[in-house]
Amino acid sequence: MARPNVSRQKVLDAAAELAAAKGISATTVDEIASAAGVAKGSVYYNFESKEAMYSLLITDALERAALRIRAALNNAADGTAVATVVRAFLMGIDEHPAAGKVVATEMFRLDRPWNESLAAQRDVFFSTLQDALVRDGRESSVSDAAAVFGAMLMVGFERVVFSPSMSLERAVASAAR
């Protein structure tokens, strides 16, 4: 955007941080406004609804992550493709932990407003991982992609929430094997 709206970004950041800690439904618009330092009316000036706001947050985070791992795969050498993709994913979480936490908590949920785009991105993740498995000469069925996806999601979550001291390479090694 040519003229970035500063309030809008403050609201988005506060919303991500609060939802990462408390979950989306437990986060009220009043809290978001207060944490962002704006009035509630300003939240609704920038976003159509709470739902639309989180939908945007999640969709953006997922799209960035999907692009990131796809690009990583393109530059990866055969034999280290899976590790390269996993590393790219975990580095994405490092850059925006709050968004990562929100997405992780929503990943398993069905029947959510943003579920459609979430399912679409899930497919992107799976097919990228399948390609990476092929490049490394490994089994590459849907269940294999699911296993790697689950592993990197859980390891990333564990690292961000419970074990911040875990090194990136240790996390990669565990999730990519």
Positions that interact with DNA (CB under 7 A): 3, 5-7, 25, 27-30, 37-42, 44-46, 49-51
Centre a 10 Å sphere on the Cβ of residue 75 and count the other Cβ atoms it contains. Answer: 9
Nearest residue to 43 (alpha-carbon basis) of 2, 1, 14: 14
Contacted by 49, from DNA, a second copy, none: CB < 5 to 8 Å by type: DNA
Which of a second copy, DNA, none does residue 141 bind (CB under 5 to 8 Å by kind)?
Answer: a second copy
**Least distance in Å: CB of 165 to a second copy?**
10
Measured between its terminal Cα atoms, the distance across the chain in Å is 41
Judged by beta carbon, residue 71 or residue 137, the one nearer a second copy is 137
For residue 144, give the H/E element and its range: helix 142-161
Binding of a second copy by 28 (CB under 8 A): no
Q: How many residues does the chain have?
A: 177
Q: Output the smallest distance, CB 30 to a second copy, in A.
A: 17
d(CA 13, CA 6): 11
Longest dimension (CA), the chain: 55
Other CB atoms closer than 10 Å to residue 132's CB: what's the count? Answer: 26
Question: Which residue number, 38 or 102, has a Cβ lying nearer to a second copy?
Answer: 102
Residue 108's binding partner out of a second copy, DNA, none, with CB under 5 to 8 Å set by partner kind:
a second copy
- Under the binding rule (CB under 8 A), the answer on residue 173 touching a second copy is yes
Q: Which is nearer to DNA, 13 or 94 (CB)?
A: 13
For residue 112, what are the contacts with CB-CB under 8 A and spacing of at least 6? Answer: 106, 118
DSSP string, 17-35: HHHHHH-STT--HHHHHHH
Selection from DNA, a second copy, none that 96 binds (CB < 5 to 8 A by kind) is none
Residues that bind a second copy (CB under 8 A): 21-23, 25-26, 101, 104-105, 107-112, 139, 141-144, 146-155, 157-159, 161, 163, 166, 170-171, 173-175, 177
